[in-house]
Chains A and B, each alone.
Chain A
Amino acid sequence: MEKVEILRSRIKEVKSKQVEKGDMILSSLHLAQELFENSIPLEAAEAMAEELDVKIERIYEIATFYSMYSTKPRGKHLIRLCESLPCHVVEGPQIEQKLKDILKIDFGQTTKDGLFTLEQTSCLGICGVGPVMMIDGDAYGNLTVESIEGIIEKYRGDRK
């Protein structure tokens, strides 16, 4: 089945759990991102607008307002490094530099092989073990300049 068709059928399922009109739009956008490798392409936005019976402008307003969504294509794995003060004061800047060095990209960019997109995020609420980052749905804490390389390698290995 085409990805768009899968999206349509999943939204129908999600819509059945709707309590009030509109309360499932954000969830649907999360779904779309899962299916389309961390971003929302035009075809997905069109399908969502149709299935949810809202104007496509509204889909785009939401997709561009919230930082977890992206209309620009992103890599297969999304790395979100915490940029908040609690991670900053426990040597966050060193981790930031090391990550950029390993991936050879800056924040907001995607590696040439399309494997990683590096982003900053506001506090993830796991400051007890900062500095922290999330890769897709998994969080990593007590990061050190030494430990990062191994974590990234693990995801590189997935590709093979």
Chain B
Amino acid sequence: MKAMTILFSTDSNSLLNGSRSYAQIMKDLVKEYNLSKMVDVIETSTFGFYGKGVLFQVFPEDIYYSVSSVDDLKEIFNEHVLKGRIVSKFLVEKERIKPAKGTELKETRIVLRNAGIIDPENIEEYIARDGYKALYNVLRMKQMDVIEMIKASGLRGRGGAGFPTGLKWEMTFKAKDGKKYVLCNADEGEPGTFKDRLILEGDPHSVIEAMAIAGYSIGADTGYIYIRGEYYNSIKKVQKAINDAKEYGLLGNNIFGSDFSFDIAIRPGAGSYVVGDETALMESLEGKAGRPRLKPPYPTEHGLYGKPTLINNVETFANVPWIILNGPGAFRRYGTEKSKGTKVFSLVGNVVNRGIVELPMGCTLRELIYGFGGGVAKGRTLKMVQTGGTAGTFVKPDKLDLPIDYESIKDGISLGSGSILVIDDQNKAIDIAKKAVKFYMHESCGKCTPCREGTRDLYILLDRISKGIGKKEDIERIRTLSMEISDSSFCGLGQSINLPLVSLYDNFKDEFLELVKAKSKNTSNLI
């Protein structure tokens, strides 16, 4: 440990504020003043929130600075690094990162245990924080004992569906076949969600280690990580992590001197939301158009190339090494009765602090938006929140204090991918509805008629209403058509359209009715 450590957040969000070049300038300054023995400059993942400037943390003082120009950075170097005087005008108040007064924020980092702490591109830093120790332990256990641990933890799929992870592992383990696969679903496409990106870029080894653990448990020697094609940065970082793991003998043949061999390859996607569906992802990996398959047979029996396949989301995997090291009991201490552990939420839209936060299951929208998020941006009024992504429900502010977990859909709150979209009173319900349906229309793969044609009809309907040429009966049709599409579609995409549309209709029926009453033009912000 050197006398001073400076951590720059250089995840994909921070990069856009220029964080990497600032980190480089700081590194150059340290070198120029011959302070390399005293000061470490490290690029790490997110601290959780994003501002307009470049954010970095300085140890041992444990303070955060936010700077907007190179001169600001140089000033901090001259004052703080050289003279030890804290430059208070650039300080980020801890309240911005820690909860606001009056709200208790129980941030618990299981998935993000290393994000913002280690240099994700340095495998030794991961190892130093007990990295690959879980894999080492597991290789001395019986396969079924590992699976029992995951089952006992109560971990459920974090991609949105919430299937019990341990059960999935057991089913794949019990499938009789010489060849099996482990897949990591990193085709993160749910609008407003960037947790998987941050995990892949902030702690890639946690996913690689978990996949190897899964491979051992179910009896697979091959793993694939299917990453969204647009996630250039994630692909690069995960590839480096895989290469390093191979070099250290943590992937490849006879890992830790055991009989277990496991290898992982990355495959990029090419821009299709439906591929986030597990069977569509398998089609895509096989080099085909990504259209979902009929289930059953389930992937645990008949998956990639017809072989038994275990497929889990990035966040699900990232929980696994922690569970192995700390035990299922420790994991079960967090969360609610039916939803154990934590959830990584991405807080976006009209909120003061946008960013990522990991909270125990069962936290509330108020904790997220007013605790971590610092409230609605620009002093405006909260109109609604969309939970769980674009394929999730809209809720009004009266639901801010209800718990969020896999069961909360009974209250109309979907957990989904953990995206929390804050929408202020400047937005019209009709515009939001049109945007949501446009997304469905664009992403429909065309395989089944209800989704392909229904979403188009729904869009035309909403477009008419927004232009003031809708009829009163059109309003009712929003609800019935959404339900029809949802009831008769082939896969999760079409099936989920009732979540955003019916909740919008139920919450804002009056606003829609106004539009057909007024018959005025230009009622929509959209062109």
Interface residues of A (CB under 8 A from B): 17, 19-27, 29-30, 54, 58, 61-62, 65-69, 80, 83-86, 88-90, 93, 96-97, 121-130, 132, 134, 137, 139-142
Evaluate whether A123 and B13 lie within 8 angstroms (CB atoms) in the complex, with A69-B270, A86-B349, A89-B427 already known. Answer: no
Of B265, B271, B290, B439, the residue contacting A19 (CB under 8 A) is B265
- Assess whether A20 is in contact with B270, with CB atoms less than 8 Å apart: no
Of A121, A123, A139, the residue contacting B15 (CB under 8 A) is A139
A–B complex contacts, Cβ < 8 Å, 25 sampled:
A20-B305, A22-B286, A23-B267, A23-B286, A58-B287, A62-B288, A66-B229, A83-B435, A83-B439, A84-B390, A85-B435, A86-B419, A88-B431, A93-B527, A121-B230, A122-B189, A122-B271, A122-B439, A125-B228, A127-B191, A127-B349, A128-B13, A129-B17, A129-B354, A140-B16
Of A85, A86, A121, A125, the residue contacting B188 (CB under 8 A) is A125
B59 close to A (CB within 8 Å): no
Shortest CB-to-CB span from A150 to chain B, Å, is: 14
Distance, CA A93 to CA B428, complexed state (A): 13
- Assess whether A65 is in contact with B267, with CB atoms less than 8 Å apart: no
- Assess whether B267 is in contact with A27, with CB atoms less than 8 Å apart: yes
Shortest CB-to-CB span from A70 to chain B, Å, is: 11
Contact residues in B for A89 (Cβ distance below 8 Å): 349-350, 421-424, 427, 432
Q: Which 10 A-B pairs have the closest CB atoms?
A: A22-B287, A141-B16, A25-B287, A84-B191, A66-B270, A68-B271, A67-B271, A123-B191, A125-B194, A128-B13
Dominant SS among interface residues on chain B:
mixed
- Assess whether B287 is in contact with A88, with CB atoms less than 8 Å apart: no
- Assess whether A85 is in contact with B289, with CB atoms less than 8 Å apart: no
Residue from B197, B270, B439, B443 having most chain A Cβ neighbours under 10 A: B270
B284-331 contacts to A (CB < 8 Å) = 284-290, 304-305
- Assess whether B289 is in contact with A139, with CB atoms less than 8 Å apart: no
Q: Which residue of A lies closest to B229 (CB)?
A: A68
Shortest CB-to-CB span from B168 to chain A, Å, is: 22
Of B287, B350, B438, the residue contacting A62 (CB under 8 A) is B287
B50 close to A (CB within 8 Å): yes
- Assess whether A139 is in contact with B16, with CB atoms less than 8 Å apart: yes
Distance, CA A68 to CA B290, complexed state (A): 13
- Assess whether B230 is in contact with A68, with CB atoms less than 8 Å apart: yes
Contact residues in A for B272 (Cβ distance below 8 Å): 65-67
Distance, CA A127 to CA B525, complexed state (A): 21
- Assess whether B191 is in contact with A85, with CB atoms less than 8 Å apart: yes
- Assess whether A93 is in contact with B526, with CB atoms less than 8 Å apart: yes
Q: Which residue of B lies closest to A64 (CB)?
A: B289
Contact residues in B for A132 (Cβ distance below 8 Å): 16
Distance, CA A17 to CA B265, complexed state (A): 9
Of A67, A83, A128, the residue contacting B438 (CB under 8 A) is A83
Shortest CB-to-CB span from A115 to chain B, Å, is: 21
Contacts A85-B192, A139-B15 known; 4 new A-B pairs at CB < 8 A: A23-B287, A58-B287, A122-B442, A126-B16
Q: Which residue of A lies closest to B390 (CB)?
A: A85
B116 close to A (CB within 8 Å): no
Shortest CB-to-CB span from B198 to chain A, Å, is: 9
B386 close to A (CB within 8 Å): yes
Evaluate whether A123 and B16 lie within 8 angstroms (CB atoms) in the complex, with A89-B423, A90-B349, A93-B527 already known. Answer: no
